[in-house]
Amino acid sequence: MRKTFEMVQVAVIGALTGAFIGGIVLQGGMDGALWGGSALAAVLAAVVWPLLERPTALMRMKYGAAAFLPGMLVGGSQWLSMGGIGAAVGGVASSALAAFCVSRLIGSHEERGRYIRTRFHYVWLFLGGSLATFFSLNALFAVERAASWQTWARSIPMAVQSSIVLAFVLLGYMICIGWKKRKTETWRQARASARRAGGALLIGGMLLIAAASMFHYGLWYVHDAARFVGPLLSYALGWMLPCTVGFLLAANRHRPVLGSVLVMIGAIFVLIVGISVFPMLLLPGSGLMWAGLVTGLVMIVLAILSIIKPQSHVTIGSFLILASILSFVGAAGGLIIGGIIGLLGGALVVGWSGKQTEKQDGHSSHPASPLPPHSPTMTG
């Protein structure tokens, strides 16, 4: 059964990747897609069989297969304009990176209990990573072409740009301190624990200020920087978004994180509708038009509160369901999608059955019994 499942999972990845290569990269149309998908699926399924007794090699092979298509999308994108050669180089580089680096990184987090690998882990990484990379590439390309960013960079004073960057660095540092405070007793210990993250944020902020200075004074152009940053950022998002599910599942064991994140996503759709009608909010008779902004903000606040106070998840989740229902009144349910996602997230918060953190459990746990763990009587 295990051998069959492994072969099917890899064959699915190979079929979709081969179809893309044969139909689009090699411009073979439907026939090329069918032949390419069938050939690569058969090859990968055949490779799985001898590797079943070598779990490390099999794991690296599956990571490499899942990462090949996202790398091809980046290498052959309009950002780089390298065509089929760029797609081939990007696919090989992505497979090598995933097989030897990403696999080790995910494995280390899994050993520490920070990541949960699902049964369809590799198929999800392949599908989620490919779709996220594709949409990120096109979205970033459209954003780069949508406005004259070079003019903006020159028109905004450097003092203002530097202040904005430093403000975000400080905000990130404060968030890191608050996160570390969960595992420390005093704020001084939390600050000491967050010192490395603060240093990394400060270095990143200095690099951003240096780049902004070069854009402002015409030493570097935004378009040239975008050709370098766009593909890298798209590839990073292509890995981060599908991997987020594993981290959320691990965090959901102690706090209702999964439902809260779904509610936040739904709230974004609700806020989009609320912001779209913002020019009409001050007109007479616009009472219901405020519902989008108010309901979206309430959903976000309650979602954050459910993470902070997991012991009140039933009450907070009930209010989240109510807020999601109310979003249909004045915000069309966030294009309907936001309301549905909010209802699903609220239900997950209400039905959350994970365990509390050790610190919280320690206050309510009963004293340890003096009996041995398997002793049925006082005499043992």
Q: Are 352 and 310 in contact (CB under 8 A)?
A: yes
pLDDT of residue 325: 84
pLDDT digits (tens, 9 = 90+) for 51-73: 878 888 888 999 999 999 999 99
pLDDT class for 333, splitting at 50, 70, 90? low
Highest mean pLDDT among 1-5, 122-126, 181-185: 122-126
Q: Are 211 and 228 in contact (CB under 8 A)?
A: no
pLDDT of residue 368: 42
Residue 256 in tokens: 């209702």
Q: Find the range with the poorest average confidence among 66-70, 126-130, 147-151, 199-203.
A: 147-151
User: Alpha-carbon dihedral of residues 288, 290, 292, 294, nearest 10 degrees?
Assistant: -120
Q: What number of other Cβ atoms are within 10 A of residue 27's Cβ?
A: 9
Minimal CA–CA distance to 222: which of 151, 312, 293? 151
Burial 86-107 (b: 16+ CB within 10 A, else e): bbbbbbebbbbbbbeebbeebe
This prediction has a pTM of 0.75
Q: Does residue 362 have a pLDDT over 50?
A: no
Q: Are 355 and 311 in contact (CB under 8 A)?
A: no
Mean pLDDT of 292-316: 83
Report CA-CA distances (Å) from 311 to 181, 255, 349. 19, 9, 11
